[in-house]
Structure 1
Amino acid sequence: MSGYKIYNQQQAHFITYSVVDWIDVFVRPMYKDTVVESLRYCQDSKGLRIHGWCLMTNHIHLIISAQEGTNLSDILRDMKRHTGKTILGDMQKNNKESRRKWMLWMFRQAGRRNRNNEIFQFWQHNNRPIEITTNKFFNQKMNYIHYNPVKEGFCHKPIDYPYSSARWYYEKKGLIEVDELLI
């Protein structure tokens, strides 16, 4: 869909992007860690502000914005490119990855369907950004992303799932430091 676009680069947005064909890649710590490291790098070096996040097995939910003078669309593009290439490279080298041949075949097929790709496509192109303009919408989306792992049976309480910002909001601890948002 072409109707999803980030117009105000500094405004907070709820964004979800998914692995092509909803392939469950993020069941291995090394692939999850690549995403976490990339989020941290974008915070430290590219002006990304993370207000909420949750990494699931085949997609990530984010509530993010960009610092003044930076471009959220560019940050997302670079982050998706980097994580996709890194994970695909790790997957190609990892002989212990039980689904390696199948996943690489799927990513190659997705790449062939898209003339903008060289060989593979890892992420779906659409981020579905939705601008956050009210506290009600912010709270609704934050609850949605924090309860996503509970709904999927990964944990009993949002605070118990390490790959989200829930623990930050409870204890000010977590894999990623969160920039708390007040609308």
Structure 2
Amino acid sequence: MQLVEPLEFGKYYHIYNRGINSENLFKENRNHEHFLKLYNKHIEPIAETFAWCLLKNHFHLLVRIKSFEEILQSHEEYEIKKIIAPHQSFGNLFNAYTKAINKGYNRHGALFERPFKRKLIDNDSYLRAVIKYIHYNPVNHGFCKHPIEYPWSSYETCISERPTKLKREKVIVLFENTENLKILHNQKENFDSLEQFLNL
């Protein structure tokens, strides 16, 4: 039986997964939109989001699980007993999305590999590297030549000024400023060592 690292309150995680048997998770634009809508419902109350990217058959998320106190503050109308474990919130997201895809495309059974993958991020250098890796994922898979060209990631939000729930200010501080974030995202990088660590 595979050991799964629990998601702990107050800690940063790179969360990623793919479709079972490499099946496409996102078949058309409305699928990306629905996933993000469900993400907002299930994950935004329990986690801060720093980066995300949705590819055809897999996804990457970089989050900080809120502290128990922070979750309580955002759930003032609920009783403490109704606050579920963070991993269950992600499970609820994936289950809700699977049900929608199964209904919409006349399929049945699991859609995602289980358990979903997660890696603890314990320093700012690693955090910066994973943010850039997530934004560069569409480039690495041949969907575009630069992260700005891919619509289903957080990169464009990071360099824009439009309202967002993404922790954009914290991301910019990690890269010192917006200009430096852009410069570093213009520099191609070899992510082989990171991918080996992630077992991709």
- When the two structures are superposed, what TM-score results if normalisation uses the length of structure 2? 0.70
Question: For residues 90 and 10 of structure 1, what CA distance do their matches in structure 2 show?
Answer: 36
Question: For residues 147 and 136 of structure 1, what CA distance do their matches in structure 2 show?
Answer: 17
Equivalence for 1:114: none
- CA offsets 1:11-30 (integer angstroms, 9 cap, x no match): 11001111111112313112
Q: CA shift at 1:74, angstroms?
A: 1.8
Equivalence for 1:10: 10
1:143-162 mapped onto 2 (5 Å cutoff): 143-162=132-151
Equivalence for 1:34: 34
1:37-116 mapped onto 2 (5 Å cutoff): 37-44=37-44, 46-69=45-68, 70=71, 71-92=85-106, 104=107, 108=108
**DSSP-derived class of the 1:129 partner:** strand
- When the two structures are superposed, what TM-score results if normalisation uses the length of structure 1? 0.75
Task: Check the 8 A contact 2:11/2:66 in 1, yes or no.
Answer: no
Task: Check the 8 A contact 2:48/2:167 in 1, yes or no.
Answer: yes
Describe the shift of the 1:159–1:134 C-alpha distance in structure 2 as closer, same or farther (beyond 3 A). Answer: same
Question: For residues 52 and 132 of structure 1, what CA distance do their matches in structure 2 show?
Answer: 13
Describe the shift of the 1:88–1:40 C-alpha distance in structure 2 as closer, same or farther (beyond 3 A). Answer: same
Question: For residues 74 and 165 of structure 1, what CA distance do their matches in structure 2 show?
Answer: 24
Question: For residues 36 and 53 of structure 1, what CA distance do their matches in structure 2 show?
Answer: 10
Task: Check the 8 A contact 1:168/1:177 in 2, yes or no.
Answer: no
Question: For residues 25 and 18 of structure 1, what CA distance do their matches in structure 2 show?
Answer: 8
- CA offsets 1:72-110 (integer angstroms, 9 cap, x no match): 212111111111111111112xxxxxxxxxxx3xxx5xx
| Corresponding letter in the other structure for 2:152 | Y
Q: Calculate the aligned-residue CA RMSD, in Å.
A: 2.2
Question: For residues 133 and 27 of structure 2, what CA distance do their matches in structure 1 show?
Answer: 21
More relative contact order, 1 or 2 (CA 8 Å, 6+ apart): 1
| Corresponding letter in the other structure for 1:178 | L
Q: CA shift at 1:178, angstroms?
A: 0.8
Q: Higher mean Cα deviation, 4-13 or 130-139? A: 4-13
Task: Check the 8 A contact 2:148/2:155 in 1, yes or no.
Answer: yes
How many aligned positions are there? 156
**DSSP-derived class of the 1:24 partner:** coil
Where structure 2 has 5 or more consecutive residues not aligned to the other structure, the ranges are 72-84, 175-200
**DSSP-derived class of the 2:98 partner:** helix
Q: CA shift at 1:173, angstroms?
A: 4.3
| Corresponding letter in the other structure for 2:59 | I
Percent identity over the alignment is 19
**DSSP-derived class of the 1:148 partner:** helix
